Amino acid sequence: MMNLEGKRILVTGGTGSLGQTLVGRILTGEMGRPAQITVFSRDEAKQHYMRLEFLHRKTATDDVIYQNSRDILNFRIGDVRDYSALLAAMRETDIIFHAAALKQVPSCEYFPFEAVQTNIYGAQNVVRAIRENNLPVETVVGISTDKACKPINVMGMTKALQERVLIEANRDCPNTNFMCVRYGNVIASRGSIVPLFVEQVRKNQPITITLEEMTRFLLSLNKAVDTVFAAISDGRRGETFVPKVAAAKITDLAKALMGDKDLPIVFTGIRPGEKVHEIMVSEEECFRTVERGDYYAILPVLPELREEKDFTPALTGEYSSKDKNVTVSQLRELLANASSEIAAFL
């Protein structure tokens, strides 16, 4: 059982949707009060606005950067592709949340090697920095995606290899615990379907859906952070944590967001690299998956990394979004609980 009391924390990709929510939750102290949180990302504009939000100021001059260096939350410009910049940020770190990624499916299809460099080489740079410099990092949690499970798109393929790079690192870095979390579509994340639907409903436009059969796992940003915290609290080295969450038909999601409106639904055709259904645990992985309360823990593919030798698998088949879909009314309740998150990203 780990908490974050007195820990020095690094969040790569910390200005993203998940990164910002994760940092905000850490700052509440619910997992203990850390000594320091460093947001590492390449977008200076997002860092600037995140810094202002933390300081509760709408505008500021450059002086806030110098003042900010004395606060618990600080920011570093850098790219996970840049080994030396990443190493400099990691030198005095206890816990790393590795959230930096190229994650938009069509973008990765058009620029596959860019996804390789960020999603795979970025993870390898984290491992290399720890291994070659004997850094005192206690835990690394890699943020993955359901698309990494039986991947058919570049984003998923690179995330699947990111998982393998991080999990295998437990062999070479015995003093560091490497874990991953894998989850489905975050309702309010940038570029996701819900903000698009909300905008279309607001403007009384037709709702655009790629395919009628399409299903997805859905969870709020806070549930995504809960999964990260569960891995930190209850995970063992080499494990991949997966939340038990709702899955829904995208057509039902559109109806839930319409409310009393009756807008037409237009099917636009499947996008490059898009799956019809998402899988969070494959039928191959289910035989090495155990239950941990509200989560599944996928044990490492390498047997020598498994701390649990005798276990009963929690699943008998794949964990897919095509199964056990929630109703429109249940979706409305889920969306109501995430309404403030959705509003924040519109």
User: Does the domain at residues 8-183+220-244+280-318 carry the CATH identifier 3.40.50.720?
Assistant: yes
Across 51-65, 197-211, 227-241, 281-295, least confident range: 51-65
Q: What is the pLDDT of residue 310?
A: 85
pLDDT tens digits along 103-126: 988 899 999 999 999 999 999 999
pLDDT tens digits along 35-68: 999 999 999 999 999 988 887 765 555 544 444 4
66: left (phi over 0), alpha (psi -120 to 50) or beta: alpha
pLDDT tens digits along 136-187: 999 999 999 999 999 999 999 999 999 999 999 999 999 999 999 999 888 8
CA-CA distance, 127 to 149, in Å (whole number)? 22
CA-CA distance, 338 to 137, in Å (whole number)? 34
**Mean pLDDT for the stretch of residues 3-12:** 96
**Mean pLDDT for the stretch of residues 283-305:** 95
pTM for this one?
0.91
pLDDT tens digits along 300-317: 999 999 988 889 999 999
**Mean pLDDT for the stretch of residues 327-340:** 86
Please list the active-site residues: 147
**SS (HEC) of the chain:** CCCCCCCEEEEECCCCHHHHHHHHHHHCCCCCCCCEEEEEECCHHHHHHHHHHHHCCCCCCCHHHHHHCCCCEEEEECCCCCHHHHHHHHCCCCEEEECCCCCCHHHHHHCHHHHHHHHHHHHHHHHHHHHHHCCCCCEEEEEEEHHHCCCCCHHHHHHHHHHHHHHHHHHHCCCCEEEEEEECEECCCCCCHHHHHHHHHHCCCCEEECCCCCEEEEECHHHHHHHHHHHHHHCCCCCEEEECCEEEEHHHHHHHHHCCCCCCEEECCCCCCCCCCCEEECCCHHHHEEEECCEEEECCCCHHHCCCCCCCCCCCCCEECCCCECCHHHHHHHHHHCHHHHHHCC
pLDDT value at 259 more than 50:
yes
pLDDT value at 78 more than 90:
yes
Closest CA to 319 of 292, 342, 298, 338: 298
Beta bridge partners of 12: 40, 98
Q: What is the pLDDT of residue 343?
A: 62
User: Beta strands 279-281 and 319-320: pairing type?
Assistant: antiparallel
